């Protein structure tokens, strides 16, 4: 139930649709999670955003925008940072293109909410009309390392044009929900923003009421891999994994005993069936500003995952695109009936496919090399890093 999460009562909901931002990347594991284990040196990341619609108030908000498709035009610092930890990247479309292709006019989008300011979430806000407000998390607007944006501040990772000619809002947090400071975004209990610090300045999650007592938690980059929040005491490994969540691989017997994976848990001092495989990275390559605080935000998320009434969708979980409908493929299909559809159970364990198999890599990379306008970009690292 949701009673222990302290979510205020309301009968107002938002309609939630998921957007495949078409961003695909391979990234060094030690930048995101620890401990590093052999055969799991790189993570496959996809990237989702959400269209959130309050039909009563006639408002539409985007939660995140993925990467801009011309990522070679990112601010210098962002380009250089990505070239250090990402060996492969492909972005086919801007989210603005995806909305227009699916008959949603950009003028309809009343707000864009950034989960945080990193390049793979901020998209290209300049494509949206000046009537679209930009909503950012706490501290971002007062951080001299970030604002003014690039190129006015040559070392800012955020493009200045995102802020130009539009209202920019930093919400105040008047509530406490599920252990986080929270803001009632539409003022009617249909959608909350959660202050989830640690990854970087101003990191937010979204909490959408999908029916009167079910919710989707949009995790942004609170963590990057579902094996950071599962398994737990409350959500332990099942005895077997069914064939439909496992990739076809002779390494897996069917039905597949979960001990096959638990035996490869990086922490041998614990009950491997009830302990998350990874924590957020505090290693040298970590992209977390404050790994200790980020881990506290994640510890709370682990507890929320135990609620059968909350579906957690972290931005980079490839299983979301495997099992849930997207605006790109099925524009009329929302996620609101996720509980009835059994989607929480569907996406719960697919991440085990990414784990090493007898010390060798699990799933193959989802993308190889850097792509630019439909072709491999041979000189990418060289050009991005300067």
Residue 221 beta carbon to Zn ion: minimum distance, rounded to whole angstroms: 4
- Give the range of 68-76, 112-120, 235-243, 271-279 binding Zn ion by CB under 5 A: 112-120
The residue count for the chain = 386
Q: How far apart are CA 135 and CA 84, in angstroms?
A: 29
Q: How far apart are CA 87 and CA 168, in angstroms?
A: 34
Nearer to Zn ion, 221 or 317 (CB): 221
91 φ, ψ (degrees, to nearest 5):
-130, 115
122 φ, ψ (degrees, to nearest 5):
-85, -15
Angle at 223 between CA 220 and CA 229, to 5 degrees: 120
Q: How far apart are CA 234 and CA 231, in angstroms?
A: 8
Nearer to Zn ion, 66 or 149 (CB): 66
Residue 233 beta carbon to Zn ion: minimum distance, rounded to whole angstroms: 28
Nearer to Zn ion, 20 or 120 (CB): 120
> Within positions 126 to 145, which residues make up the interface with Zn ion, using CB under 5 A?
none
Nearer to Zn ion, 94 or 221 (CB): 221
Residue 63 beta carbon to Zn ion: minimum distance, rounded to whole angstroms: 13
361 φ, ψ (degrees, to nearest 5):
-60, 145
Binding mask 149-188 for Zn ion (x = CB under 5 A): ----------------------------------------
- Give the range of 26-34, 116-124, 168-176, 369-377 binding Zn ion by CB under 5 A: 116-124
Write the burial class of residue 143 (CB in 10 Å: 0-12 exposed, 13-18 middle, 19+ buried).
middle
Decide: helix, strand or coil at residue 53.
strand
288 φ, ψ (degrees, to nearest 5):
-85, 125
Nearer to Zn ion, 66 or 266 (CB): 66
- Give the range of 114-122, 203-211, 244-252, 253-261 binding Zn ion by CB under 5 A: 114-122
Residue 216: beta bridge partners?
208, 311
Q: How far apart are CA 130 and CA 142, in angstroms?
A: 22
Decide: helix, strand or coil at residue 131.
coil
Asked if 12 and 209 touch (Cβ cutoff 8 Å), the reply is yes
Residue 115 beta carbon to Zn ion: minimum distance, rounded to whole angstroms: 8
Residue 121 beta carbon to Zn ion: minimum distance, rounded to whole angstroms: 6
Residue 229 beta carbon to Zn ion: minimum distance, rounded to whole angstroms: 16
> Within positions 191 to 230, which residues make up the interface with Zn ion, using CB under 5 A?
221
- Give the range of 118-126, 162-170, 258-266, 319-327 binding Zn ion by CB under 5 A: 118-126
Instruction: Kindly tell me which residue out of 53, 94, 120, 354 binds Zn ion, with binding defined by CB under 5 A.
Output: 120
No. of helices (H) and no. of strands (E), the chain: 9, 21
Residue 306 beta carbon to Zn ion: minimum distance, rounded to whole angstroms: 25
Residue 226 beta carbon to Zn ion: minimum distance, rounded to whole angstroms: 14
Residues within the interface to Zn ion (CB under 5 A): 120, 221
């Amino acid at each position: 139930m949701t009673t222990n999460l302290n979510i205020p009562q309301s009968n107002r909901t938002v309609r939630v649709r998921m957007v495949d931002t078409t961003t695909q990347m391979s990234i060094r594991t030690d930048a995101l999670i620890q401990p590093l284990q052999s055969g799991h040196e790189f993570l496959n990341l996809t990237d989702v955003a959400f269209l959130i619609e309050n039909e009563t108030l006639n408002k539409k908000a985007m939660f995140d925008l993925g990467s801009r498709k011309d990522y070679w035009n990112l601010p210098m610092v962002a380009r250089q940072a990505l070239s250090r930890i990402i060996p492969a990247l492909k972005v086919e479309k801007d989210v603005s293109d995806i909305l227009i292709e699916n008959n949603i006019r950009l003028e309809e989008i009343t707000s864009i909410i950034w989960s945080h300011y990193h390049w793979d979430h901020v998209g290209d806000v300049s494509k949206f009309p000046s009537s679209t407000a930009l909503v950012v998390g706490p501290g971002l607007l007062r951080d001299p390392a970030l604002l003014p944006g690039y190129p006015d501040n040559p070392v800012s990772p955020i493009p200045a044009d995102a802020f130009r000619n539009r209202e920019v809002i930093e919400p105040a947090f008047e509530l406490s929900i599920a252990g986080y400071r929270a803001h009632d975004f539409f003022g009617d209990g249909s959608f909350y923003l959660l202050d989830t610090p640690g990854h970087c300045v101003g990191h937010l999650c979204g909490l959408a009421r999908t029916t009167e007592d079910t919710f989707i938690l949009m995790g942004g980059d609170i963590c990057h891999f579902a094996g950071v929040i599962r398994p737990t005491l409350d959500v332990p490994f099942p005895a077997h994994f069914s064939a439909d969540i496992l990739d076809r691989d002779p390494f897996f017997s069917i039905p597949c005993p979960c001990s096959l994976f638990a035996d490869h848990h990086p922490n041998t001092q614990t009950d491997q069936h009830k302990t998350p495989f990874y924590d957020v990275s505090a290693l040298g390559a970590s992209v977390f500003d404050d790994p200790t605080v980020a881990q506290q935000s994640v510890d709370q998320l682990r507890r929320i995952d135990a609620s059968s009434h909350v579906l957690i969708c972290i931005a980079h979980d490839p299983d979301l695109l495997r099992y849930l409908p997207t605006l790109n493929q099925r524009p009329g299909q929302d996620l609101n009936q996720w509980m009835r559809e059994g989607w929480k159970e569907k996406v719960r364990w697919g991440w085990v496919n990414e784990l090493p198999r007898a010390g060798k890599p699990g799933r193959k990379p989802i993308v190889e090399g850097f792509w630019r306008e439909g072709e491999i970009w041979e000189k990418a690292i060289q050009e991005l890093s300067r």
